[in-house]
Amino acid sequence: MTDRITIRRPDDWHVHLRDGAMLEAVARHTARQFARAIIMPNLTPPVTDAAAAVAYRDRILAALPADTGFTPLMTCYLTDAADPQAIADGHAAGVFTACKLYPAHATTNSAHGVTDIFALAPVLERMQAIGMPLLIHGEVTDRTIDIFDREAVFIDRILVKLVREFPALRIVLEHITTAEAADFVTAAPATVAATITPQHLIINRNAIFDGGLRPHAYCLPVAKRERHRLAVRAAAVSGSAKFFLGTDSAPHVVGAKESGCGCAGIFNAPFALESYLTVFEEEDALDRFEGFASENGAHFYGLPLNDGKVTLERRPVIVPERIGDGDTAVVPFHAGETLGWRLVD
Ligand code: OTD
Ligand code: ZN
Ligand code: ZN
C-alpha cells in the first residue's frame, strides 16, 4: 500500500478568498496547499477593472506571510458593460489571467453579472484573439427551470452555441456537477475544459437533506443525484487533460450559512488536497492525481508547471468542527470527520 505520495506543487484553478477579515483568515489555507490560484472576482463591488484587481492582489499578498511564494492569478468579472480594450490591456499588463462570466443572479454576488452572453461578442472575440480564457459559471438563471437542471440546460441553450461561434476561445466550464457536463466537455474540442470541486466528487444531493437541512452541504451549483456524482468522478480520474482541480472554496461566516436563507458555498480550502486524494485512492487512480492537481490546469492556461513538490502521507487527520471565530468562524467541508491523508508541512 502506498503510504506517501509526492507530487509537483499543485494549483487551485477556482477559489473565493473574499476580502477584509475573512481574507485574512482564509488566505493562508489556500497558500499552504497550492502554489497558485485563480481568484474569483465576486467581491462587493465586483472586480471589474485592472486597478481593482491590482489592489485586490495586493490585499491577498498582504494577508499572507512574506515567504509563502503563493501567486494569486486575478480574474475580471464580466458585466454587460465589459470593454474589450480594457480587458485586453489588463491581460497584456499581466493583471488579468482570465475573465469570469456569471450569468446575472446565478450565485453569490452575481447581481452585476451578464444578462445576455452573446451581446458580449466583441469582448469574446477579443479574448479569443489574445488567447485569454473565459471561465463560466454554467447555470441558467431562469427560475422556471428546476434548480437541479440548470447546468444541463445552460449547456444546451448557451454553451453549445458559444463553442460553435467562438471556436478558438478557451473556455473553462467551472465546477461541473452533472453527467451532461462531463460528457459535453469530454466530447468538446480541446479549447474546452472543466474544473471539479472536492464536494461534487464526494457528496450527492442527499447530503443536503441528511436527517434535516444541512446548510454546510449547500453550494451552487447544487450537488446532484448519485449518478451525476459518479460521472463527475469518472471524469476527474479519467486521465483526460481537460479536467483539473478547482476547489470553489467559498467561505461564509457560520451565521450566514445557518440561517432562514443560508448562503451558498462550501469552505474546503484547509483540507482540499486530502479530500481529492481520498477520491483518487478510492477510484484506484493515484497515478492520475498529479495530472489533475498539478499539470492539466497549467497546460490549459498556458502557464509553466510549478517547481517544488508536496507530500501527503497516510495519517489520520480530524477536521475541526469550526475554524476561526467571531466574524470569521466557518464550518469547513468534512467538519468532524477523520480523513485518511494529511498534507506534510
Ligand atoms: N458557489 N458559493 C459561491 C460561489 C460559488 O458559484 C460559485 O462559484 C460564493 O459564495 O462566492 C457557491 O456556492
Ligand atoms: Zn460558480
Ligand atoms: Zn466559485
- Asked if residue 105 has pLDDT above 90, the reply is no
219 C-alpha to ligand 3 centroid (Å): 9
Please give the torsion angle defined by the CA atoms of residues 204, 209, 214 and 218, in that order, rounded to the nearest 10 degrees.
Answer: 40
Q: Band of the pLDDT at 109, cuts 50, 70, 90?
A: confident
The pLDDT score that the predictor gives to residue 281 is 98
What's the Cα-to-Cα distance from 231 to each of 12, 91, 243, 272, rounded to whole Å?
Answer: 21, 35, 12, 20
Grid coordinates standing for 229? Answer: 456524482
Q: For a ligand 1 pocket test, name from 12, 13, 14, 16 the mutation site with the most ligand atoms within 8 angstroms of its C-beta.
A: 16
Q: For a ligand 1 pocket test, name from 43, 108, 216 the mutation site with the most ligand atoms within 8 angstroms of its C-beta.
A: 108
Q: Pick the closest to residue 344 from 36, 26, 4 (CA basis).
A: 4
308 C-alpha to ligand 1 centroid (Å): 30
The helix/strand/coil state of 29 is: helix
137 C-alpha to ligand 3 centroid (Å): 8
CB-based contact 43:109 (threshold 8 Å): yes
Residues with a known catalytic role: 248
Cα separation, 74 vs 91, whole angstroms: 10
Grid cell 461578442 is found at 121
The pLDDT score that the predictor gives to residue 342 is 98
Element (H, E) at 244: strand 243-245
- Asked if residue 106 has pLDDT above 80, the reply is no
Q: Which CATH class is domain 4-344?
A: alpha beta
Looking at the CA of residue 16, tell me the nearest atom of ligand 1. Answer: 11
The helix/strand/coil state of 153 is: helix
> Strand pairing partners for 90?
none
- Asked if residue 162 has pLDDT above 80, the reply is yes
Q: Pick the closest to residue 246 from 216, 224, 280, 276 (CA basis).
A: 276
pLDDT, tens digit (0-9, with 9 covering 90-100), for 317-327: 999 999 999 99
Task: Give me the percent of the chain exceeding a pLDDT of 90.
Answer: 96
Grid coordinates standing for 302? Answer: 498556458
Element (H, E) at 274: helix 272-282
Classify the C-alpha dihedral 224-229-235-236 as positive or negative.
positive
User: Which residue type is seen at 9?
Assistant: R
The pLDDT score that the predictor gives to residue 1 is 78
Of the bound ligands, which one is closest to the alpha carbon of residue 14? 3
CB-based contact 220:139 (threshold 8 Å): yes
Ligand 1 binding residues, C-beta < 6 A: 16, 42, 107-108, 137, 175, 219-220, 248, 250, 264-265
Task: Give me the percent of the chain exceeding a pLDDT of 70.
Answer: 100
- Asked if residue 113 has pLDDT above 80, the reply is yes
* Cα within 13 Å of Cα(208), Cβ side: 19
pLDDT, tens digit (0-9, with 9 covering 90-100), for 9-65: 999 999 999 999 999 999 999 999 999 999 999 999 999 999 999 999 999 999 999
Q: What is the mean pLDDT of residues 236-265?
A: 98
Grid coordinates standing for 162? Answer: 458559444
The pLDDT score that the predictor gives to residue 18 is 98
CB-based contact 344:273 (threshold 8 Å): no
Q: What is the mean pLDDT of residues 179-195?
A: 98
The pLDDT score that the predictor gives to residue 110 is 80
102 C-alpha to ligand 3 centroid (Å): 10
Looking at the CA of residue 102, tell me the nearest atom of ligand 1. Answer: 6
Query: What is the average pLDDT score of the chain?
Result: 97
Grid coordinates standing for 277? Answer: 486524494
Q: Whose CA is nearest to atom 1 of ligand 1?
A: 220
CB-based contact 341:7 (threshold 8 Å): no
84 C-alpha to ligand 2 centroid (Å): 22
Cα separation, 25 vs 307, whole angstroms: 26
Q: For a ligand 1 pocket test, name from 22, 248, 252 the mutation site with the most ligand atoms within 8 angstroms of its C-beta.
A: 248
User: Which residue type is seen at 210?
Assistant: D
Looking at the CA of residue 220, tell me the nearest atom of ligand 1. Answer: 13
Looking at the CA of residue 264, tell me the nearest atom of ligand 1. Answer: 13
